[in-house]
Amino acid sequence: MIWLQALVYFSFTVFVLVVLAKVVKYATMPIHLRWELYPVPHEKGRAEHGGSYFEEADWWKKPRETTLIGELKDMFMEMLFIKRVFEHKRPLWWFTYPFHTGIYLILTWFALVFIGAIFEIAGFPISAASVQQLGFLSWLSPLIYYLTWIVGVLAMALMLIFGLGLLFRRLGDEGMRSYSAPVDYFNLLFIIAVVATGIAAWQYDGDFAVARAFMKSLITFSPLPSISGATILHVTLLSLLFLYLPFTKMTHFFGKYFTYHKVLWEDEPNLRGGEIEKEVKKVLRYRISWSAPHMKPGMTWADEVLKVSPNEIDVWKKEEK
């Protein structure tokens, strides 16, 4: 079983490194195109009525009042409850929200198994009964034991049932089917297969004692415990999923900070001599690599900006005719 441990270490390492590389890439990308969309949750006293600091006369001369709590509240509602799908595509939300809840729970389950493994390495076994060695903390052992079981079973049920629901909805809904690529179906089937093999492995590990023993072996670099064929298949598929995830759009959740805080809500004023002006000047020197009736390859964005005249749009319309 050394190969299985090696696969787990390798896939997890690749996952972490690629995700970190993505974060660095997002953080160092050129300044985005500002759309000036409002309201912005971090504006004090204005977000509630959809306004912005542009409402103020001489706004560039006045200090701005912002609040991080406003942003965190909105981001929390979106990440935990998928707020925008609920507001704009309610029928889909009834499938995607329980499915994502299952994902959050399975991550919680991993954390509980890890904590349980640490306790057992320290000599405090996790069981349904109190452990006297823990003294006044004897309630921790049964708490971790039951939480691990409840969270794990609920996570598997939600991900399997609503993962299948999302698959059938994507197949049956003409609108979703029209913009679904083959990889979208593959991703869902891959996750469903991992969950299904996890349920099969659970039949041989009803209280997740083997899962904790497996985690202990990974933490201590010791030999694996005796495990079933279903567990071997599940861990293999799970490792391959971790290896695959960072190269797909399924890791979009790592980009939430950038798409919200640095794109959707970034409203720092562009003042003369400021850092944003320097970034804009840098971007204006980039050369265009594509062509259109109004664009020529090799031009800089500064060239394009300077050549636009008030009647440019009318000229484009005439050219199209």
Given this model, what pLDDT does residue 103 score?
96
Q: What is the pLDDT of residue 192?
A: 97
10-66: per-residue pLDDT in tens?
999 999 999 999 999 988 888 887 777 788 888 887 887 888 888 888 888 888 888
Question: What pLDDT does 310 receive?
Answer: 53
The confidence score (pLDDT) of residue 38 equals 82
Spatial contact of 19 and 256, defined as CB atoms under 8 Å apart: no
Mean pLDDT of 96-116: 96
Q: What's the average model confidence in pLDDT over 86-113? A: 95
pLDDT exceeds 90 at position 273 = no
pTM here is 0.85
User: Residues 295-312, buried b or exposed e (16+ Cβ, 10 A)?
Assistant: eeeeeeeeeeeeeeeeee
Mean pLDDT calculated for residue range 102-113: 97
Q: What is the pLDDT of residues 156-204, one digit of tens each?
A: 999 999 999 999 999 998 888 898 999 999 999 999 999 999 999 999 9
pLDDT of 312 > 70? The answer is no
Q: What is the mean pLDDT of the chain?
A: 88
Per-residue confidence at 313, pLDDT binned at 50, 70, 90? Answer: low
**Per-residue model confidence (pLDDT) at position 159:** 97
Per-residue pLDDT for 297 more than 90? no
pLDDT in tens, 50-81: 888 888 888 888 888 888 888 888 888 888 89
Task: Please check the confidence at residue 118 and state whether its pLDDT lies above 90.
Answer: yes
Tens digit of pLDDT for each residue in 133-148? 777 778 899 999 999 9
